[in-house]
């Protein structure tokens, strides 16, 4: 039943992703990918603040949304992130907002969760947009999506069939070491396929294997990190938007660290142009 639900929900998501990626390639400016990332970020942030509210923490969601969208929109046209300047401004905005609201009860907790909702989602997703701006950026975004989502799917399948050794039972009871190895294998296959067909100048074997390994590690760590936050908020899924798949936060969790890790890997290899 769970497999059928995942297939039923996953098929239109895959079709939509392919369509949006083709549209982004057609227009070439990265505007489509920017709008998609902004929409996904806003949805994931809303779910994050919603989980916090259900656990009794009322974050300042409106400043979080505004800062998140502003950060992503600025990143679309930027040469690189300048987090200290933006973070300073966001902190000032939050503090002013909190002072104007005049509520001191649990103010540190509210501020911390509001800030975490920005750092953990739009701040990290901005790296997908930075990858899109580099030479062969469209192909590297396709690479990132294929590696992460194939790894997710294979990890779930292998873990359900052969999984025995729990990876982090307190954080994510269903994650297994067998699934993690399967995820790595699936990501390498996906990386090989994309590296062979999506690039104008295909990356060397060393580069695409390294990129797949780095992105897969980031993807699995991002998945576990989201599970940690959900457990902290005492909930299983961020939302029930898609049966078997969860909500928007569940859909983007693997990109939260895979994007920065892949960006750093390509940057160190001086492939940023």
Portion of the chain with pLDDT greater than 70, in percent: 87
pLDDT for 1:
47
Q: Which two tokens stand for residue 174?
A: 């269903």
pLDDT higher than threshold 90 for residue 9: no
Of 11-15, 36-40, 56-60, 166-170, which range is least confident? 11-15
Where does the pLDDT of residue 174 fall: very low under 50, low under 70, confident under 90, or very high at 90 and above?
Answer: confident
3-state secondary structure of 174: strand
Judged against a pLDDT cut of 80, whether residue 4 lies above it is answered with no
SS3 label, residue 168: strand
Reading phi first (left if > 0) and then psi (alpha if -120 to 50, else beta), residue 172 is in beta
pTM of the model: 0.89
**108 or 121, which is more confident?**
121
Average per-residue pLDDT in the chain? 86
pLDDT, tens digit (0-9, with 9 covering 90-100), for 70-91 = 899 888 866 555 667 777 888 8
Q: Is the pLDDT of residue 24 over 80?
A: no
Mean pLDDT along residues 137-147: 94
pLDDT (0 to 100) of residue 83:
65
pLDDT 10s digits, 207-217: 999 999 999 99
- What CA–CA distance (Å, rounded) separates 93 from 87? 10
Tell me: the pLDDT tens digits for 179-214? Answer: 999 999 999 999 999 999 999 999 999 999 999 999
Burial of 29 (0-12, 13-18, 19+ CB in 10 A): exposed
Contact (CB, 8 A) for 98 and 107? yes
In whole angstroms, what is the distance from residue 237 CA to residue 228 CA?
12
The more confidently predicted of residues 255 and 168 is 255
* pLDDT reported for residue 31: 83
Q: Cβ distance 239 to 249 under 8 Å?
A: yes
How many DSSP H helices and E strands does the chain contain? Answer: 11, 2
3-state percent helix, strand, coil for the chain, nearest multiple of 5? 75, 5, 20
* Res 61 pLDDT > 80: yes
Helix (H, G, I), strand (E, B) or coil at 136: coil
């Amino acid at each position: 039943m769970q497999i059928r639900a995942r297939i039923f929900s996953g098929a239109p998501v895959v079709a939509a992703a392919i369509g949006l990626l083709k549209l982004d390639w057609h227009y070439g400016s990265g505007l489509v990918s920017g709008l998609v990332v902004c929409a996904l970020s806003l949805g994931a942030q809303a779910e994050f603040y919603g989980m916090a509210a259900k656990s009794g923490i009322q974050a300042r969601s409106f400043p979080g949304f505004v800062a998140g969208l502003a950060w992503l929109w600025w990143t679309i046209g930027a040469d690189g992130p300048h987090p200290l300047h933006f973070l300073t401004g966001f902190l000032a905005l939050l503090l002013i907002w909190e002072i104007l609201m005049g509520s001191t009860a649990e103010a540190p907790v509210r501020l911390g969760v509001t800030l975490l909702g920005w750092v953990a989602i739009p701040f990290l997703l901005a790296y997908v947009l930075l990858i899109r701006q580099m030479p062969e950026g469209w192909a590297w975004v396709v690479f990132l999506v294929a590696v992460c989502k194939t790894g997710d799917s294979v990890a779930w399948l292998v873990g359900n069939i052969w999984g025995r050794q729990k990876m982090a039972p307190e954080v994510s009871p269903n994650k297994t070491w067998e699934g993690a190895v399967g995820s790595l294998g699936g990501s390498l296959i996906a990386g090989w396929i994309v590296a062979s067909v999506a690039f104008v100048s295909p990356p060397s074997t060393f580069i695409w294997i390294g990129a797949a390994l780095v992105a897969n590690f980031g993807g699995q760590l991002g998945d576990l990190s989201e599970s940690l936050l959900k457990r902290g908020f005492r909930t299983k899924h961020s939302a029930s938007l898609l049966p078997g798949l969860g909500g928007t936060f569940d859909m983007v969790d693997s990109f939260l660290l895979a994007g920065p890790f892949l960006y750093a890997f390509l940057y160190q290899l001086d492939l940023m142009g």
